Amino acid sequence: MNDPLSPAHAAALDAADPLRSLRDEFLFPRHQGGDQAYFVGNSLGLQPRGAQAMVQEVMDLWARIAVEGHFTGPTQWMNYHRLVRDALAGVVGAQPLEVVAMNTLSVNLHLMMVSFYRPTRERPAILMEAGAFPTDRHAVEAQIRFHGFDPATDLVEVPPGADGNVSMQALEQALAEHGKRVALVLWPGVQYRTGQAFDLDAVTRLARAQGARIGFDLAHSVGNVPLALHDVAPDFAVWCHYKYLNSGPGAVAGCFVHERHARDATLPRFAGWWGHEQSTRFRMAPEFVPEAGAEGWQLSNPPVLGLAPLRASLALFEQAGMEALRRKSLRLTGHLEALVQSRLSNVLQIITPAEPEQRGCQLSLRVAGGREQGRSLFDYLQSVGVLGDWREPDVIRIAPTPMYNRYQDVQRFVDEVERWAHR
Ligand SMILES: *Cc1c(COP(=O)(O)O)cnc(C)c1O
C-alpha cells in the first residue's frame, strides 16, 4: 500500500484527485463493457457531455425562427464568436481583445503570415524548427514562394540534437548566424512528435532581439500547459480546438494577435466583411475599416455549428482552471514516467525531455526493437482497449490529460505493456 507504484496507490491518487469529477463530464469510447484507456486527447479530445445540447440549441433555433436566430436572444448567431472569447482568453492568458475563434489552424497561420511575414531583399527569411508539423512547413514554403523568394535559401530550419530535441542553444546559434536575414520566427509551443515544451518567453526575446517578428503554433499547448500570451507578447499565435480543447473533429480554431497590433489599420491583411468594424459593418460601405483586435482578421460570419461544442468545453476549463489542471498533469505524467522507468525500461525509452518544465502531458515512447516490435505492441494495446497513437517509425505517443484521465488509466497502460512483453 505504501509502494507509490502499486495499483492500490494509483486508486488512492484517483480518490484524492480534486479534479476527479471532471471525468464524468466526458463520453468515453467503450471497450468490452468498460471505458477505453484513452490517451489520444492530443489528437482528438473526447466529447464533453454538454456539447450535444449546445449544437442542438442551434439546430432548434434554426428550425423555429430561422434567420431571426442571427438577432435573437443571448446566443444570437451574429455575435456567436463572442460567446467563447473571454473563456478562450483565460485559457491562453490573453486579453479578450487579443483572441478570436475562427477558421481552422492552417488557414489562420496563412492569414497571420500575410500580416506578419513581410520579407524584404535584406530580410527575406523564415526561421522554424526542422521536423515541424507538415502543414506548418508547407505554409511557410508557400508564403516564401508567394513573395518571390526561395525556400532553399530563405527557409532556415533549426536541427534537433542527438536526443531528438531542439535545444535553446541551437536556436540561439541559428539566430546568431542568420538573425539579420530573418523576417519571421515561427515556433511550436509543444513539439507534436517529441512532446518537448519550449520557454515561449525566451524564444520571443531571442527573436525580437534580432528584429524578427515572432509567431507561435500552439496546437499542442492550448489546454495542455498554462500560457501567458499577453505578457509573453509574440506578434501572433494560432492553434486548433479539437486536441486538448475537446471541441470536436475539425472544430473552429483559435488565433491571437497581440494588443500592440490591435488598432494598426496599416497592416496588410486578407480582409473579409466579418473583420470590418462591428458598429458600422451593416452600413455595407465599400471601404474596409478593421475591427480592433484579433476579430479584425475574421473573414466570414461565424460557423455557428462548428463553434457550439467549444462553449461546452470552455465551461469545463473555466470550472477547473489551467493552474489546477497543470498541477494534476505534472503528477499524472510524472507517475507514468516513474512506472515506465521502473517497470518498462527494457521495452520503452522516453524521448520527451525529463524536466517537467520542458514537456506537457504527453510522453513519446520509443519501442525497443524497432518498427515491427512497435507495431506489435501498438496493435496489442488497441486490442485490449488502451489507445495511444503511432508515429513512424517506432514511437507511441501517450497523452494522459488531466481533464479526464486517471492514475488508474496510466496503471492499466503499464500493466498491458508488461503483459505484452512477457507474452
Ligand atoms: C494538429 C496540428 C495542425 C493541424 O492543422 P489543421 O489546420 O487544424 O488541420 C497543425 N500544426 C500542428 C503543429 C499541429 O499539431
The DSSP code sequence of 44-67 is SPPEETTHHHHHHHHHHHHHHHGG
Query: Of all residues in the chain, what percent are helix, strand and coil, respectively (each to 5)?
Result: 45, 15, 40
Buried b (16+ CB within 10 A) or exposed e, 126-163: bbbbebbbeebbebbbebbeeeebebeebbbbbebeee
- Select the CATH number that applies to the domain covering 7-35+321-421 from these four: 3.30.420.40, 3.90.1150.10, 3.40.50.150, 3.30.565.10: 3.90.1150.10
Yes or no: say if 194 and 161 are a contact pair by the CB < 8 Å rule.
no
Asked whether residue 187 is marked as a ligand-binding residue, the answer is no
Long-range contacts made by residues 26-31, C-beta under 8 angstroms, separation at least 24? 26/246, 26/403, 26/404, 28/404, 29/387, 31/384, 31/385
Is residue 297 in contact with ligand 1, taking CB distance under 6 Å? no
Residue nearest to atom 4 of ligand 1 (CA): 105
- Kindly tell me if the per-residue pLDDT of 1 is higher than 70: no
Yes or no: say if 37 and 387 are a contact pair by the CB < 8 Å rule.
yes
Q: Prior bond to 18 cis, omega within 30?
A: no
Q: In what order do the strands lie in the sheet with 348-350?
A: 348-350, 363-367, 395-398, 389-391
235: how many CB neighbours lie within 10 A of its CB?
Answer: 24
Q: Residue 17: is it exposed, middle or buried by C-beta count within 10 angstroms (0-12/13-18/19+)?
A: middle
Residue 262 C-alpha cell reads as: 490591435
Distance (angstroms) between ligand 1 centre and the Cα of 177 equals 29
Asked whether residue 376 is marked as a ligand-binding residue, the answer is no
Q: What is the pLDDT of residues 112-165, one digit of tens each?
A: 999 999 999 999 999 999 999 999 999 999 999 999 999 999 999 999 999 999
Q: Which numbered atom of ligand 1 lies nearest the CA of 242?
A: 8
Q: Which numbered atom of ligand 1 lies nearest the CA of 43?
A: 1
Provide the CB-side half-sphere exposure for 253 (13 A, CA).
Answer: 20
Q: Which numbered atom of ligand 1 lies nearest the CA of 136?
A: 11
Under the phi-then-psi rule, with left for phi > 0, alpha for psi from -120 to 50, and beta for the rest, what region is 293? left
What number does CATH give the domain 55-318?
Answer: 3.40.640.10
Asked whether residue 163 is marked as a ligand-binding residue, the answer is no
Residue among 286, 256, 250, 283 nearest 271 (CA): 286
Predicted pLDDT at 383: 97
What are the C-alpha distances in Å from 313 to residues 47, 218, 242, 333? 8, 18, 10, 22
For the chain, the first-to-last Cα distance in angstroms comes to 27
The one-character DSSP state at 296 is G
Is residue 75 in contact with ligand 1, taking CB distance under 6 Å? no
Distance (angstroms) between ligand 1 centre and the Cα of 40 equals 15
Q: What is the pLDDT of residues 18-55, one digit of tens each?
A: 999 999 999 999 999 999 999 999 999 999 999 999 99
Predicted pLDDT at 4: 87
Helix (H) or strand (E) holding 10: helix 7-15
Q: What is the pLDDT of residues 50-84, one digit of tens each?
A: 999 999 999 999 999 999 999 999 999 999 999 99
- Kindly tell me if the per-residue pLDDT of 2 is higher than 80: no
Buried b (16+ CB within 10 A) or exposed e, 296-324: bbbeeebbbbbbbbbbbbbbbbeebebee
pLDDT class of 92 with cuts at 50, 70, 90? very high
Characterize the bridge pairing of strands 34-35 and 30-31. antiparallel
Q: Which residues lie closer than 8 Å to 115 by C-beta, 6 or more apart? A: 236, 257, 261, 267, 268, 269, 297
Asked if domains 7-35+321-421 and 55-318 share a fold, the reply is no
Distance (angstroms) between ligand 1 centre and the Cα of 133 equals 7
Percent of the chain exceeding pLDDT 70 equals 100
Section 212-220 average pLDDT = 98
- Cα–Cα distance for residue pair 422/336, rounded to 1 Å: 20
Q: What is the pLDDT of residues 379-389, one digit of tens each?
A: 999 999 999 99
Residue nearest to atom 6 of ligand 1 (CA): 105
Q: Tell me the pTM.
A: 0.97
Q: For the chain, give the mean pLDDT.
A: 97
Distance (angstroms) between ligand 1 centre and the Cα of 285 equals 36
> What's at 239, amino acid-wise?
W
248: how many CB neighbours lie within 10 A of its CB?
Answer: 23
Q: What is the pLDDT of residues 284-323, one digit of tens each?
A: 999 999 999 999 999 999 999 999 999 999 999 999 999 9
Asked whether residue 301 is marked as a ligand-binding residue, the answer is yes
Is residue 222 in contact with ligand 1, taking CB distance under 6 Å? no
74: how many CB neighbours lie within 10 A of its CB?
Answer: 6
Is residue 212 in contact with ligand 1, taking CB distance under 6 Å? no
Residue nearest to atom 14 of ligand 1 (CA): 219
- Cα–Cα distance for residue pair 10/285, rounded to 1 Å: 63
Distance (angstroms) between ligand 1 centre and the Cα of 217 equals 8
Domain locations along the chain: 7-35+321-421, 55-318
Asked whether residue 106 is marked as a ligand-binding residue, the answer is yes
- Kindly tell me if the per-residue pLDDT of 176 is higher than 60: yes
Yes or no: say if 125 and 210 are a contact pair by the CB < 8 Å rule.
no
